[in-house]
C-alpha cells in the first residue's frame, strides 16, 4: 500500500527572514520589491495575511492593506541554502523524494511505514515535522494519503504547521465536502462555471454521470472524474528526463542598468554551467528569458557552434541575446538563462575562441502580459 506525504513549508521566505532576524518575529513581514518600483509580494508572513495580503500581490496594494508591514528584499541564495537542509531531512526518511519547488516536495514513505512494528503514517509524519523544526527552525504542513493529489489537498487544510492524514479508502469521503475549486485542474473560472450549474463541492462533482463529464471537460473528462472520486495512482518521481537546464530570478525592483543586468546574467550563466557539468550534459541552444516592467514576457534563443557546458560561450551568447533587447527606458523584472538541445556525447567537445551564428534568425516567443508569483 502506498503512503505519500506532501510537505509544504509555511510562509517559507518570510519565516527564513524571521529566523535570521529576531526583530521581525511576530510582526507582519512582506518579502518582495519596493512599492514605489512596482514590486510584488513574494511571500507574506502569517501575521500579515489577516489583512488580506498574499503572494503575487503588488507591493503597493499590500502596503495599503497592511501599512505596518515590514518590507524585506528577497535573499534567494539563503532560501536555496535552507531548502537544501530541509530536503536532506526528507531524504533521511526516504530516497523517493520529488521536490516541486524550494518549499515543497512529495515523499513516498511506503517503506518507512510498518504497521506491524508500530510505524504508522501519522508517526512518520510527526517525526518528519519534528526533525524539520529542530534542525532548521522551520515549520512544515504535511498531508498524508495513498495518492499525491489527495496529500497535496490535505497539506493545505490546516496551515500553518498543519497535519492531515487521510486513511486509505477514505479519500472519497475526505474530498466530498471540500469546495470544488480545491480539486486539481479546477481553476477559478471553471469553479465559477460549475457553481452556476449547482456543483459546489467535490462530492457534487463526483456524483455527476460520465456523459456530463465528457460534455463539460472534453478530453480531460476521465482524469477529472477519477480525481473527484479520489482515485490517483501517479507515483512519486525521483528522476525525470532533462530536456533543459535553466535558472531565473525575479528582481525585487525593476532593473534597467546595463552593468547590473550583465552581473545578474553572469551569475545565472555560471549557475547553469555548473548544473550542466554536474549532470554531465552539454547543450547547443542558449535561451534568455525576459519579463519587462509591464509583465510582458518573451525569450530569445540561438545556437552554439558545438555542444558545451563551459560558462564562457554560454555567457557570451546569452549576453548578445540580451544586449539586443536593451533600449532606452526599458526595465526588466525577471531574467533567466537556459541551455537545451543536448548532445548525445558523440560530438567532439571543442569550441572556437569566438562565437559564430546568424543572430538575425533568433527565435522569438511572446506571451501576453501576465501576473506571475515570484519563484
Active site members: 104
Is the CATH number of domain 1-167 3.30.70.270? yes
What digits encode the pLDDT tens for the residues 14-42? 999 999 999 999 999 999 888 886 677 88
pLDDT score, position 241:
62
Delimiting residues of CATH 1.10.150.20 domain(s) in the chain = 172-228
- pTM above threshold 0.85: no
Cα atoms in the 13 Å half-sphere on the side-chain side of 48: 33
Locate 278 and state its grid cell.
554536474
In the structure grid, which three cell numbers stand for residue 12, read together?
517559507
- In whole angstroms, give the CA distance from residue 213 to residue 367: 31
pLDDT at 242 (0 to 100):
67
Per-residue model confidence (pLDDT) at position 358:
37
- Write the CB contacts of 115 (distance below 8 Å, at least 6 apart in sequence): none
DSSP state of 119: B
The sign of the torsion formed by the CA atoms of 106, 110, 114, 120 equals: positive
Supply the pLDDT for residue 1: 82
φ and ψ at 145, to 5 degrees?
A: -160, -170
Q: Tens digits of per-residue pLDDT, 85-98? A: 999 999 999 999 99
Mean residue pLDDT across the chain: 87
Q: Which fold has domain 244-367?
A: Dna Ligase; domain 1 (3.30.1490)
Residue range(s) of every CATH 3.30.1490.100 domain in the chain: 244-367
Query: What cell numbers appear for 225 in the block?
Result: 472524474
How do beta strands 29-32 and 41-44 pair? antiparallel
pLDDT tens by residue, 213-227: 999 998 889 999 999
Residue 171 has pLDDT above 90, yes or no: yes
Q: What is 172-228's CATH topology?
A: DNA polymerase; domain 1 (1.10.150)
Amino acid at each position: 500500500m502506498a503512503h505519500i506525504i506532501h510537505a509544504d513549508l509555511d510562509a517559507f521566505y518570510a519565516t527564513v527572514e524571521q529566523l535570521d532576524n529576531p526583530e521581525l518575529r511576530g510582526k507582519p513581514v512582506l518579502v518582495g520589491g519596493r512599492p514605489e518600483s512596482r514590486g510584488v509580494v513574494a511571500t507574506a508572513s502569517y501575521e500579515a495575511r489577516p489583512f488580506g495580503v498574499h503572494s503575487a500581490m503588488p507591493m503597493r496594494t499590500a502596503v495599503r492593506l497592511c501599512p505596518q508591514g515590514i518590507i524585506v528584499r528577497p535573499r534567494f541564495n539563503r532560501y536555496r541554502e535552507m531548502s537544501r537542509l530541509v530536503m536532506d531531512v526528507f531524504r533521511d526518511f526516504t530516497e523517493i523524494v520529488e521536490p516541486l519547488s524550494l518549499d515543497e516536495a512529495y515523499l513516498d514513505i511506503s517503506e518507512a511505514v510498518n504497521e506491524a512494528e508500530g510505524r504508522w503514517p501519522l508517526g512518520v509524519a510527526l517525526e518528519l515535522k519534528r526533525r524539520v523544526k529542530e534542525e532548521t527552525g522551520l515549520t512544515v504542513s504535511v498531508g498524508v494519503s495513498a495518492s499525491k493529489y489527495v496529500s497535496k489537498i490535505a497539506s493545505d487544510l490546516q496551515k500553518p504547521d498543519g497535519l492531515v492524514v487521510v486513511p486509505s479508502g477514505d479519500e472519497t469521503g475526505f474530498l466530498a465536502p471540500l469546495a470544488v475549486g480545491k480539486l486539481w485542474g479546477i481553476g477559478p473560472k471553471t469553479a465559477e462555471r460549475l457553481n452556476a450549474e449547482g456543483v459546489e463541492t467535490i462530492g457534487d462533482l463526483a456524483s455527476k454521470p460520465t456523459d456530463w463529464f465528457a460534455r463539460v471537460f472534453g478530453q480531460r473528462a476521465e482524469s477529472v472524474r477519477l480525481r473527484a472520486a479520489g482515485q490517483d495512482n501517479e507515483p512519486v518521481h525521483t528522476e525525470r528526463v532533462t530536456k533543459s537546464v535553466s535558472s531565473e530570478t525575479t528582481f525585487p525592483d525593476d532593473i534597467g542598468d546595463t552593468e547590473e543586468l550583465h552581473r545578474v546574467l553572469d551569475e545565472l550563466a555560471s549557475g547553469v554551467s555548473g548544473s550542466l557539468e554536474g549532470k554531465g550534459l552539454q547543450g547547443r541552444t542558449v535561451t534568455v528569458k525576459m519579463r519587462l516592467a509591464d509583465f510582458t514576457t518573451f525569450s530569445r534563443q540561438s545556437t552554439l557552434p558545438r555542444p558545451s557546458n563551459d560558462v564562457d560561450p554560454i555567457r557570451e551568447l546569452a549576453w548578445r541575446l540580451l544586449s539586443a533587447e536593451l533600449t532606452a527606458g526599458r526595465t526588466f523584472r525577471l531574467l533567466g538563462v537556459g541551455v537545451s538541445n543536448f548532445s548525445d556525447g558523440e560530438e567532439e567537445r571543442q569550441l572556437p575562441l569566438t562565437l559564430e551564428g546568424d543572430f538575425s534568425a533568433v527565435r522569438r516567443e511572446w506571451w501576453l502580459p501576465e501576473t506571475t508569483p515570484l519563484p
